[in-house]
Amino acid sequence: MEGDLNALLKQRKQFPYYEAVEILSQIVNGWVHVWSQGYLHRDVKPANVLYSKGQYKLADFGFAVPLKDIDQHKGYNVGSPVYMPP
């Protein structure tokens, strides 16, 4: 099975604890890797997490910016409002 996490969440509604922890762990590891490469994703949401064969990966880097340029992007709201922090 493959697709995006948003569709999977709509289909399954809930996950066993161990599976939810594994999914979140993979997403966080991806986010940390992007950060370690000098970028900020800025649009992490279920629809931007693709999965296949038990592997979950961040996708859609359209709003990503280099960390060195982050000051130039302060004050601009990007991403999906429902997933933005307050």
Active site residues: 43
Question: In whole angstroms, what is the distance from residue 54 CA to residue 2 CA?
Answer: 9
Is the four-CA dihedral 31, 32, 33, 34 of positive or negative sign?
positive
Q: How far apart are CA 67 and CA 35, in angstroms?
A: 8
